[in-house]
Amino acid sequence: MSTQSPSKVDFAKVDEIIQSCGAKKSNVIAILQKVQATFRYLPEDALTYIGTKIEGLSPATVYGIATFYNQFSLNPKGKYEIKVCDGTACHVRGSMPLLNALKAKLNLKDGKFTTDDMLFSVDIVSCLGACGLSPVIVVNGKVHPKMTTDALNTVIDVLLQKERGE
């Protein structure tokens, strides 16, 4: 989704994660979860590294696992992950105008979904199971119900102020 190039991988950090989980084939999901929590995505270099470090795995196997599960992302994510629900209820109540307003606010153009400063990334997701609160967005796991463009701008402004230490 993002067109940004991956940042350099700290392999010492990956090693630390492998050791903490146990360098065993059966721990690969836990290892990938921790790597993603650390880097906020799964860098391809890290997948290759894990595939060569653990007996019984290969880079291709690790890559296959990383792409199979929805929980994993091979694209860099922002510090704040914003999910815009586009399930039926949210769509009918204006999720797409919200998404467009969000992209404009964050200056996300040309198919980019993560801001250059790596602060925000935007994903479109299907029904979050909170249709009565539609349209819904979720920021780092926190649900924001009945969103309007103004409310959304406020959410972003609050986060920007927090980042600037205001």
Binding residues (CB under 6 A) for ligand FES: these are 85, 87-90, 127-131, 134, 136
For the bound state, the minimum distance from the C-beta of residue 83 to ligand FES, rounded and expressed in Å, comes to 10
Comparing CB distances to ligand FES, the nearer of 143 and 159 is 143
Residue nearest to ligand FES (CB): 87
Comparing CB distances to ligand FES, the nearer of 50 and 98 is 98
Nearest residue to 93 (alpha-carbon basis) of 56, 131, 49, 144: 131
For the bound state, the minimum distance from the C-beta of residue 100 to ligand FES, rounded and expressed in Å, comes to 17
Comparing CB distances to ligand FES, the nearer of 42 and 136 is 136
User: In whole angstroms, how far apart are CA 153 and each of 92, 105, 106, 132?
Assistant: 20, 7, 10, 22
For the bound state, the minimum distance from the C-beta of residue 140 to ligand FES, rounded and expressed in Å, comes to 17
Comparing CB distances to ligand FES, the nearer of 36 and 95 is 95
Compute and round to an integer the Cα radius of gyration of the chain.
18
For the bound state, the minimum distance from the C-beta of residue 146 to ligand FES, rounded and expressed in Å, comes to 11
Comparing CB distances to ligand FES, the nearer of 119 and 143 is 143
Contact assessment for residue 32 and residue 25, using Cβ atoms and an 8 Å cutoff: no
Owner of token pair 């391809």: 44
Question: What's the DSSP call for residue 114?
Answer: B
DSSP letters along 30-91, please?
A: HHHHHHHHHHSS--HHHHHHHHHHSTT--HHHHHHHHHHSTT--SS---SEEEEEE-SHHHH
Pairing outcome for strands 120-125 and 137-139 = unpaired
For the bound state, the minimum distance from the C-beta of residue 126 to ligand FES, rounded and expressed in Å, comes to 7
